[in-house]
Structure 1
Amino acid sequence: MSRAFVQTKQSETEATPSIATPGSAEPGLAGPFSIQVPTEKDPRVRFELERLLSRAREIRPRLRAAQAQTETDGKYGTDIHEFFLEHGFYRMLQPQLFGGLELGVSAFYQVIAEVGRGCPSTAWCLSLSVGHSLTLGSYFDERAQREIFGENGYMICPASGNGRDMSVERVDGGWHVSGFWRYCSGAPYSTHFMATTYIPGERAGDPERRVWMILRRSDYEVLDDWGRVIGMRGSGSNSITATKAFVPDYCVSEEKWTASMSGPTPGSRLHDNPVYAGTFFGFAEGEVASTSVGLGYAAIDEFEKIIMKTRHPWIKDGSIRGDYEEWQRVLGMAISYVDGAQSILVNSSRLFEEYAARSVEGIEPFDESRSLRLNGVYFVVEELVYKAVELMLRNAGSQNTADGAPLQRYFRDILTTRTRTDQFEMFSVNTATAHLKA
């Protein structure tokens, strides 16, 4: 199988990161060695994207070798955390004004997918915590951004809407918040936590308002309660508790930006970048979809390795499965499913950026219909990857469904992705309703 790699033109001012190539013809490295060939037009963004993709390829063997331990520990190792710190993975969506890379949504998804090709659990943990840099950079005021991004030079911030036993108390300058939140992906290495809760209405008799509050690491506890689900066991989706944590008023944002946005936001004004003026639903499920795309390519790599190293079960002349159409067909279908998912993901992320820009410019709002349709498309990405992985597992032989087999782990991971409460079937009615009202 031939492998061609494109080298981009070197900038006159800075060297383009080297594009790594396979060191051998070992099976399991098929397809694009990097998941996505960067097509970003901004030279700065393109340079940083290629650099991060290269670093994600560099660490892929370490991620794969550590997959079983990551599951056992419920999180990726401290060595991976240090690698992410060193190379700026935690600053992908952080505004440049506060020391971030400000890559935008498309580049972010591509890097997450590249990490996911090494370890889906690691990519999930990274994606669902770092993604909230976009939330902070978009909807919170300058004081909150300057303080929070500036505390460590980066932010690792899970969020959760699964609050229980929540209470808030008005105090001088802010709130005391208490509660228990589940599925806080990224909790083990977190610097902050975005807790959804409710505060009283502005006037007597007004309904409660749903808000996001940002808590500092010293004000909450991460529980050791993750890893017992069927898949994504290393995603660091621990529960978080807090008791009378003080949250200043400027670290509270009323949730009015989930599905609809019109005009500039605090972030788009501050950073002069419309990427900080999109809706939450237009972005959030893409964090999971990008992880799924990386998972799909990891499964393809593994399936190729299987069929190129195992003999045909019925023909005794030494033939390998990869020599026969029965397995070539499965590989080809899986590649097409996942390539299609990746193309949809990148196109949708660019639509997010365009919708946000048009909203800021006053051309038309980033409305609920567009937000939910993007949300639905991200679910379709996950469906396509599931089809690919399920197809490969059925055709890989029973030994590859055993505990410890990588392909079994990938199937468990993508199954977990599709068994969350906020799933395609749950949102599809909302998508249709918003479309009919538009």
Structure 2
Amino acid sequence: MTTAAIDANSVVHAVQDIVPRLRENGRQAEEERWIPQENIDLLEKAGVFRIATPGRFGGLDLPVAEQTKILAEIARGCPSTGWVASVWVSSTWLATLFPDRAQEEIFAQPSVRVSGGFTPTGTLTPTEGGYVLNGSWRFNTGCRGADWNIAATILENPDGTHAEVIAIVPMSEFTIADDWHTSAASATGSSTSTAKDVFVPAHRVVDFGEAIFNATPDRSNTGANGRNYGLFAFVMAETVATFLGTAQGALELFLERIPGRAIAYTSWENQAEHPLTQIKVAEAANKIAAAQALEAVWLKVLQDRADAGEQPTTEEKATIRGQGAYAIQLAKEAVEILYRTSGASVIQRSVPLQRFFRDVEGFSLHGFLLLSTNLELHGRVLLGLDPDTPLL
């Protein structure tokens, strides 16, 4: 067994051990609108924040399939903690697309948390040695506990031209608004972050288009190093893991509370003996299994391409987007079935399953993950049409 596999297994097992505690902290996390520090400390101790850090900086540098396995386990314990972890880990991988000089700063410590997003709602203006950053970014998951923040932004050149770029900046340079008040994903703390006249050195800015194709310059981790995945295909893969873990956790919670529960206003004293309950739990379990089977296929595609030093083809990236969204839909439907088969008592805040249900519903509304958008993209490519989006 390789060293990477041993390290991956140790992280998986460590996360499995803390799943009960993550579940116990779920209500506190929701009430405080941010995951408890204990959750972060447990993930830190387990090694989660090293899984995407390059090996040359002391990280575990795990392949995408191992990363997703770990992220799913976290979500099995707490969906919101899993969502935050997926953002931190996927953004840490994105940081490896910056020049070596920036990477040396970002990975000064191998355990690192990076937040950010891809909506360019800020501006960069050139100045001596770099740029000045201004703007606000909403829905910035994990910003409250991040070390660094990725800010998609518009570069305003002196000649009047514009370009989409990505800047990476210490999180301490941003202010964070207390504006995260939601009915779902409450514990993700996805508040608005704002930068005002923040200086960004030139080596911490990369072209968005080059990042999409892993073609950013001035870095040594290029070629067939097994970690240059397609940007948006990678992000989709990491995100799907959160949904699959959430659905698996919901199934476990359902199975724990169902034995011996009567069906109100009927003669059934044990719901587990009712044929409809049996059908529904099997339907949910098979939706989860089908989603996991889809996931296994695209994880292999991504790794095979990265190992060969190639980017996924347009057709492969479109398939990952379409199948990823479909897997999310299957996971969401599984949780919905379990929730609606749980009786009225499931709405109590003391019952974790209701929080899994609300979180998965909220996560699925993310614009990048919408089933309709991704199936349209996938269908266009299947029909031989242009994908009609650069975010592929």
Shared fold per TM-score greater than 0.5? yes
Please give the per-residue CA displacement for 1:387-433, whole angstroms capped at 9, x wherever unaligned: 11111122211221344432221111111122122322123333333
The Cα offsets for residues 311-367 of structure 1, whole Å up to 9 and x where unpaired, read as 2446647x4111232212211111111122223223322211212334x26xxx523
Asked if 1:211 is matched to 2:157, the reply is: no
Any idea what SS the aligned residue of 2:259 has?
helix
Q: Tell me how far 1:240 sits from its aligned partner.
A: 0.7
Letter in 2 for 1:185: T
Give 2:356's match in structure 1, choosing from 410, 416, 422: 410
Contact map agreement 2:15 2:46 (CA 8 A) in 1: no
Q: 1:174 aligns with which of 99, 105, 130?
A: 130
The answer for unaligned runs of 5 or more in structure 1 is 1-41
Q: Displacement, 1:261?
A: 5.7
CA distance in 2, matches of 1:241, 1:204: 26
Q: Which residue, 380, 384, 389 being the options, matches 1:433?
A: 380
1:348 aligns with 2:298: yes
Q: In the comparison of the two structures, how many residue pairs are matched? A: 384
Cα offset, 1:90, TM superposition: 0.5
In 1: Cα distance, 2:250 partner to 2:336 partner? 10
Choose the corresponding residue for 1:337, options 274, 279, 287: 287
Measure the CA separation in 1 of the matches of 2:5 and 2:315: 31
SS of the equivalent of 1:237 reads: coil
Q: For residue 172 of structure 1, report the CA deviation from its aligned partner.
A: 1.2
Cα RMSD after superposing both structures: 2.3
Query: Are the equivalent residues in 2 in contact too, given 1:260–1:367 (CA < 8 A)?
Result: no
Aligned residue for 1:270, secondary structure, equals coil
Equivalent residue letter for 2:114: C
* Residues in 1 aligned to 2:144 and 2:77: alpha-carbon distance in whole angstroms: 20
Q: Which residue of 2 aligns with 1:24?
A: none
Cα–Cα, structure 1 residues 315 and 433, in superposed 2: closer, same or farther, change >3 Å? Answer: closer
Mapped partners of 2:29, 2:317: distance in 1? 34
Q: Secondary structure at the match of 2:258?
A: helix
Counterpart position of 1:105: 64
Q: Is the deviation greater in 291-300 or in 80-89?
A: 80-89
Shift of 1:147: 1.4
Q: Which runs of 4+ in 1 moved over 4 A?
A: 257-262, 264-267, 314-317
Which residue does 2:196 correspond to in 1?
A: 243
- 1:260/1:371 contact within 8 Å kept: no
Look up the match of 1:276.
227
SS of the equivalent of 2:169 reads: strand
Consecutive unaligned residues of structure 2, counting only runs of 5 or more, are 387-392
Aligned equivalents of 1:155, 1:329: Cα separation in 2: 44
Instruction: Say whether the 8 Å CA contact 1:95–1:271 is kept in structure 2.
Output: no
Corresponding residue for residue 89 of structure 1: 48
- What is the aligned-residue identity percentage? 22
Q: Is the 8 A contact 1:94 1:154 kept in 2?
A: yes
| Counterpart pick for 2:113 among 149, 152, 156 | 156
The question of whether the paired residues in 1 share the 8 Å contact of 2:325 and 2:374 is answered with no
Match of 1:329, SS state, is: helix
Query: Measured at CA, do residues 266 and 303 of structure 1 come closer, stay the same or move farther in structure 2, by a change above 3 Å?
Result: farther
CA distance in 2, matches of 1:316, 1:437: 57
Matched, 1:147 2:86: no
Aligned to 1:10: none
Q: How far apart in 1 are the matches of 2:263 and 2:376?
A: 46
Maintained 8 Å contact 1:282/1:375: yes
| Cα distance change of structure 1 residues 266 and 106 upon mapping to structure 2, 3 Å threshold | farther
Give, in angstroms, the shift of residue 105 of structure 1.
0.7
CA distance in 1, matches of 2:167, 2:82: 25
**Correspondence list, 1:314-393, <5 A:** 316=267, 319-358=269-308, 360=309, 365-393=311-339
Offset, 1:153: 3.1
Post-superposition offset of 1:223:
2.1
Q: Is the 8 A contact 2:125 2:156 kept in 1?
A: no
